Amino acid sequence: MAAEKSKIIYTLTDEAPLLATCAFLPIIRTFTAPAGVEVVKSDISVAARILAEFSDCLTAEQKVPDNLAALGKMTLLPDTNIIKLPNISASVPQLLAAIKELQLKGYKIPNFPDDPKSEEEKVTRARYSKCLGSAVNPVLREGNSDRRAPNAVKQFARKHPHSMGEWSQASRTHVSHMHGGDFYAGEKSMTMTKACDVKMDLVTKSGKTILLKPKVSLIAGEIIDSMFMSKKALCEFYEKEIEDAYKTGMMWSLHVKATMMKISHPIVFGHAVKIFYKDAFAKHAKLFEELGVNVNNGMSSLYEKIKTLPESKREEIIQDVHACHEHRPALAMVDSAKGITNLHSPSDVIVDASMPAMIRAGGKMWGADGRLHDTKAVIPESTFARIYQEMINFCKTHGNFDPTTMGTVPNVGLMAQQAEEYGSHDKTFEIPEAGIARIVADDGIVLLEQHVEEGDIWRMCQLKDAPIRDWVKLAVNRARLSNTPAVFWLDEYRPHEAELIKKVNTYLKEHDLKGVDIQIMSQTRAMRYTLERVIRGKDTISVTGNILRDYLTDLFPIMELGTSAKMLSIVPLMAGGGLFETGAGGSAPKHVQQLVEENHLRWDSLGEFLALAVSLEDMSDKTGNPKVKILARTLDEATGKLLLNNKSPSPRTGELDNRGSQFYLAMYWADALATQTEDKELQAYFTPLAKTLQANEQKIVDEFKAVQGKPADIGGYFVMDTEKCKAVMRPSATFNAALKAARA
Is residue 351 a contact residue for ligand AKG (CB under 6 A)? no
Residues in contact with ligand AKG, shown as a per-residue x/- string from 78 to 97 under the rule CB under 6 A: -----------x--------
Nearer to ligand AKG, 26 or 413 (CB): 413
Residue 138 marked as a ligand binder: yes
Pick out residues in 500-559 that bind ligand NDP (CB under 6 A).
none
Is residue 609 a contact residue for ligand NDP (CB under 6 A)? no
Question: Quick one: which of 93, 435, 557, 583 contacts ligand NDP (CB under 6 A)?
Answer: 583
Phi-psi region of 253 (alpha: psi -120 to 50; beta: other; left: phi over 0): beta
Is residue 550 a contact residue for ligand AKG (CB under 6 A)? yes
Is residue 352 a contact residue for Mg ion (CB under 5 A)? yes
Q: Pairing state of beta strands 196-204 and 209-218?
A: antiparallel
Is residue 342 a contact residue for ligand NDP (CB under 6 A)? no
Q: From residue 313, give the alpha-carbon distance in Å to each of 302, 310, 318, 478.
A: 13, 6, 9, 61
Residue 140 marked as a ligand binder: yes
Strand partners, 581: 84, 569
Is residue 587 a contact residue for ligand NDP (CB under 6 A)? yes
Nearer to ligand AKG, 490 or 548 (CB): 548
Is residue 182 a contact residue for Mg ion (CB under 5 A)? no
Write down the H helix ranges in 182-326: 231-248, 264-276, 278-283, 285-291, 299-305, 311-324
Candidates 285-293, 435-443, 583-591, 698-706: pick the segment binding ligand NDP (CB under 6 A): 583-591
Nearer to Mg ion, 79 or 352 (CB): 352
Shortest CB 665 distance to ligand NDP, Å: 14
Number of residues that bind Mg ion (CB under 5 A): 2
Question: Quick one: which of 124, 134, 620, 648 contacts ligand AKG (CB under 6 A)?
Answer: 134
Helix (H, G, I), strand (E, B) or coil at 710: coil
Is residue 162 a contact residue for ligand NDP (CB under 6 A)? no
Is residue 75 a contact residue for ligand AKG (CB under 6 A)? no
Is residue 585 a contact residue for ligand NDP (CB under 6 A)? yes
Q: How many CB atoms lie within 10 A of CB 741?
A: 12
What's the number of CA atoms in the CB half-sphere (13 Å) around residue 538?
12
Is residue 137 a contact residue for ligand AKG (CB under 6 A)? yes
Residue 554 marked as a ligand binder: yes
Q: From residue 596, give the alpha-carbon distance in Å to each of 93, 133, 559, 643, 729.
A: 21, 25, 29, 27, 12
Residue 253 identity:
S
Residue 549 marked as a ligand binder: yes
What are all long-range contacts of 274-280, with beta carbons under 8 Å and residues at least 24 apart? 275/235, 275/238, 275/239, 275/242, 276/238, 276/242, 276/252, 276/324, 276/328, 276/331, 276/343, 277/321, 277/324, 277/328, 277/343, 278/324, 279/320, 279/323, 279/324, 280/317, 280/320, 280/321, 280/323, 280/324
Which secondary structure element, helix H or strand E, spans residue 640, and what is its range? helix 626-644
Is residue 590 a contact residue for ligand NDP (CB under 6 A)? yes
Is residue 83 within 8 Å of 42, Cβ to Cβ? no
Is residue 72 a contact residue for ligand NDP (CB under 6 A)? no
Cα 205 from Cα 434, distance rounded (Å)? 6
Is residue 411 a contact residue for ligand AKG (CB under 6 A)? no
Is residue 356 a contact residue for ligand NDP (CB under 6 A)? no
Question: Quick one: which of 45, 67, 408, 563 contacts ligand NDP (CB under 6 A)?
Answer: 563
Tell me the binding residues.
134-141, 147, 352, 549-550, 554
Residues that bind ligand AKG (CB under 6 A): 89, 134, 137, 259-260, 352, 550, 553, 584
Tell me the binding residues for Mg(2+).
352, 550, 554
